[in-house]
Structure 1
């Protein structure tokens, strides 16, 4: 079972969370300015999070499983360094663009250990939503999508965790059942093996009912740009604010750190549950258009 409508809702949520979050790297921008309409002004450009998520969404429009060779070529052919790609990602994608096998390039990264960054997790929520109702397939396809750039287990498992969350909440939307935060986090943990990502999710479960500041302090806010420093907090936010997209994104802004990436992960998961209608129209209007990317997908 697949649902491209849920995938596109998730992509909208991801791209708005990414584009809005990126505005808070602009000095002087505050949430209060956003609410009263005085800032950020104009279009909100999206970053590499949305660019890679859109490429992945386009791949889902093809029959069959994710074709890793084609996906690697698409990532490499599309990437624009000014979108905010990390240094490691730039090296990986340039080498693939130049014709090197992605399996070799991904394994070579970071001294041969592979990337444990949050890049595979930041782009994968639409894939999870696409497989709503078939969480096992969502997990397996998330692994395949992650492996083309992330050879380290933490980077791969971060992607699995986000995809599983999106698949679970997408199905919850279809059957009109909102999972409790503990229920959602437990469902995600059930698809992971021992890892720092899993340890973080277990800690997140124990932090339900705490403040955003405390959760970010204990789990991380993405400032290390690692899956284990990003995914547990992002899924804590999504689980605790699943029915309220603006509140979920505001929590990411309040936590600071890698706000565009936590906003992308949280936005992609939460919008799989709320649908596009849960995203403020003004935010959708200010997000840089997805013409030729999301629409093409």
Structure 2
């Protein structure tokens, strides 16, 4: 295999994951509107064009930096986040301030480390954007976790946020393995082995033990559904949902969305992981209803 063909394969996998992430993000965000609650109960996509949020915008930056540099360059990633920031995409206040400081010339390291009284953010914002990086490293899950860890520090430096980011990237890398995706239990076992001891890892162990549960609401009550927007309240459930529905994007989406919580982010994570394999692509009709990726993002990463 030539270097060019290898790069093309990486790019194709990552773009497929990104499209799955964008559809999950955009469609999931529709169900924050009370008028769409009945459609959610019926598992019926609402009408109109579905607009994505900061989840997709930041994922595009991750992938564009990865394609340009062949790895995560933290300074380039911080600049891309800051320069591409669209205030109308639902960013949280802490990240908005951080990106403003970067645009004004601050080194990202100091304000990112200073968040939340010096503990760093433990939110799910770094995990929500990382599945395409994992797909880029399909079959190289250890490298995916390493690059994901590096990417997280730009905005989220708390241990739980970092480990959550690593876990999502590892899952996507395992699903995107050219040799074939693992089964549900093997997927979660593989992720658990790749991430450090943490609340996220403990949640993943519980998620693995609940793979035989058919009631997503019960699982979400135990694992969390992103309502607290923390990594450890978000990542274990999303990996459970992805593992339960590998190769079936629609079922993965509805299972995730119907438990509520941080639906744009949980559905973005699940969508990005499931779509990392060719069998898990979102329905074409859903892709056509989703807002196009930003104009600055290259169609070929």
TM-score of the superposed pair, with normalisation by structure 1:
0.94
1:295 is matched with 299
Give 1:40 shift. 2.0
Cα offsets for 1:146-177 (capped at 9, x unmatched):
11001111111111000000000000xx22x3
Question: How do 1:25-40 residues align onto structure 2 when only pairs under 5 Å count?
Answer: 25-29=32-36, 30-31=39-40, 35=44, 40=46
1:154 is matched with 160
User: 2-side partners of 1:296 and 1:109: how far apart?
Assistant: 35
Pair 1:15 & 2:22 matched: yes
Give 1:126 shift. 0.2
2:189 is matched with 186
CA RMSD of aligned residues (A): 1.5
Cα offsets for 1:238-260 (capped at 9, x unmatched):
00101110000001111100000
CA contact (8 A) 1:8 1:294 kept: no
Cα offsets for 1:183-209 (capped at 9, x unmatched):
100100111111110010011011111
Pair 1:200 & 2:207 matched: no
Pair 1:115 & 2:121 matched: yes
Pair 1:259 & 2:266 matched: no
Pair 1:131 & 2:137 matched: yes
Report SS of the residue matched to 2:275: helix
Report SS of the residue matched to 1:119: coil
Give 1:294 shift. 5.5
2:3 is matched with none
Could you tell me which runs of 5 or more consecutive residues in structure 1 were left unpaired when the two chains were aligned: none
CA contact (8 A) 1:19 1:44 kept: yes
1:169 is matched with 175
CA contact (8 A) 1:33 1:40 kept: no
1:91 is matched with 97
1:248 is matched with 252
2:287 is matched with 284
User: 2-side partners of 1:165 and 1:294: how far apart?
Assistant: 25
1:4 is matched with 11
Deviates more, 1:286-295 or 1:190-199: 286-295
Pair 1:212 & 2:216 matched: yes
User: 2-side partners of 1:142 and 1:202: how far apart?
Assistant: 20
- 1:63–1:263: structure 2 CA closer, same or farther, 3 Å change rule? same
Give 1:33 shift. 6.0
User: 1-side partners of 2:48 and 2:217: how far apart?
Assistant: 30
CA contact (8 A) 1:248 1:267 kept: yes
User: 2-side partners of 1:294 and 1:34: how far apart?
Assistant: 33
Cα offsets for 1:182-239 (capped at 9, x unmatched):
1100100111111110010011011111110111000000010000000000000000
User: 2-side partners of 1:64 and 1:260: how far apart?
Assistant: 28
User: 1-side partners of 2:148 and 2:279: how far apart?
Assistant: 21
Deviates more, 1:18-27 or 1:283-292: 283-292
Report SS of the residue matched to 2:291: coil
Could you tell me which runs of 5 or more consecutive residues in structure 2 were left unpaired when the two chains were aligned: 1-5
